[in-house]
Structure 1
Amino acid sequence: MTENTNLPAATQAELGELERALDGVPMRTRAAMLLMTVGETDAAEVLKHLGPKEVQRVGTAMSTMPELRQEQIEGAVRLFLEEVGGQSGLGVGANDYIRNMLTQALGDEKAAGLIDRIILGGNTTGLDTLKWMDARAVADVIRNEHPQIQTIVLAYLDADQASDVLALFPEKVRLDIIMRVASLESVQPAALQELNNILEKQFSSSAGTQAQTLGGVKTAAEIMNYLDSSVETELMDGIKEVDEDLATEISDLMFVFDNLIDLDDRGIQALLREVSTESLKIALRGAENDLANKILDNMSRRAAEILRDDMESMGPIKVSEVEVAQKEILGIARRMSDAGEIALGGAGGEDML
């Protein structure tokens, strides 16, 4: 970025105006707006320092950028300048911009798949490479491997990606893997070496020398959180038949949509800044009244009135659509919790997700 010293520091009143201009614009969209203003080269340098999920979120925000007012774009840039200073000119259209930026960041070969899906690429090897891959591709890589190898992979992946991979296996295999994940505690270097050897031809991997803590009941619960309700129920029933105590332990650690009521007001407000109104109004159709009221109480009066009107005017909504919206919001909440932006308490009480 090139430093810009011509802009004076904004006053508190000006900062307030900037925030109001951006009201309702999620943080990931603001980040995408910034990357669209700094030029392809600088944006590519930023992307090199992001992880798979961060690239996915920002890249998707870029590719689905809504129509924004000029004051919103200027507001996002100005607020950013208040913290770090510096900007450069706006580039080309979104599709060409993303293609050129990712090619500069990752090279032609790695960017080819990333351009199609917005979630591939990066200078990663071994297990880390799997985090950039489509769930079906990961499932194909490990489908014929030993169940313990499959377990290590699932435990290593982020919970949402792991749940997508797990859902692609037959019911009996899913049950075996999730039970193994729950009982896994650590992985020795020899096991990681074996796994990396399997992936070596495809990913030019190399193994570490330290044992890693992977899996456990909490990891199993996090993976279960992301499964479709029908698959989750089926899997939980299977676990109960094998080990009822384990099923209870996993259930206690799972975090469901209605648990969001345990967030304090500040946490609710932070979450609302990241959630789209469309997802929220669908998700609240299946929420307990206390949670819906708490969320509405933490919105501005006008925003709450509009949301209530939208919900009342909505026609019948499929349960599956409500579940998808709720899982989307839960995914955002978990990411914010991981980043230390909000505090989520599991159903089990003291543990933090």
Structure 2
Amino acid sequence: MTTDKIERASYSSPSFGNVTTKKLKGAEKAAVLFLCLGEERGSALMKSLSENEIRSLTHSMAGLGVISAAMVEEVMKEFGEAVANGGSVVGSFSMAEAMLRKVLPEEKVGSILREIRGPLQERDLWARFSALNETSIANYLRSEHDQTAAAILSNLEPNVAANVLPLLGEERMISIIERMVRMDAVPHHMMKQIEETLQKDMATVAAQPTLSERQKNMADLFNRLDNQLFEKVSPKLEQRLPDTFPDIRQRMFTFDDLIKLDANSLVRVMRSVEGNTLPVALRGAKDPVKEHFFSCLPSRSRDMLKEEIQTMETPKKRDIKEAQRDLLDCARQLASEGQIELPTADEEEEEYA
């Protein structure tokens, strides 16, 4: 019995009651029959089909998804009563694979399964690409032709595409939207090429840091530079990078910035470092910074700290920098644990407004 015969035998009437079968076509209807027969009987029946018919049937079966009880009852009239009692059926990749392995040699099973996996992987590809950071998607599309960008955005979740488009600039956004509106179906070979390229580039796109992440990384780097060296090169960087360097500098959190913490938070930072880290760090601090640290402590603790600083041997410059860096690292750690809050650029702007 061929799939064509199955269709003619099972669907001689185009309707059943008030339900129509317009959503199911050809081999999809035959696939419903096989699923209703179950794995054993379905596999036995599949042996009477040709390889091309098996290929068509399993393609349809793998992509069926959930078929409602009403649709099953309509398509499979001769099994109507049994199906109505049993509810819906589910077509899945695993079900198609199980039936295939019972009727075909392993090499042919592998070939058909690879063909089926292709479309499933394509759907997964677009879902994974839609889940990427929108700035990363926009950066990727900047190097693509507008027509390619339109094809890619047309396959993304609408809310993702809506957030990505403005990041490409107004002029290019209008051009891409126009192409998306006018776009007919993209030829299969072109879409396949886009998907293959996207599959290869996916890891690279996902690994690309956002502008905010790049600025934060540079701010961390500058925080660890020698302070005198940083102040020496800053004017040149401001001149050469007028659009980005100020933003990076705002993200920097230096030892001197610790005085922007509230008194309780600063005391918590001071008490969290070990050994002589605090006196060594303050020994090399500017006087206003040093006095602010002192002002946050109880009088007895303040006097003891001042005495320790005055009587200690003069530390090396690198030891001072390391101690100050330890205090900064401690502040960041406490902030990451939610024990204190570091001042943000917005808060600083409000303070000096």
TM (norm. structure 1) is 0.36
Q: Which has the higher helix share?
A: 2
Greater RCO, 1 or 2 (C-alpha within 8 Å, sep 6+): 1
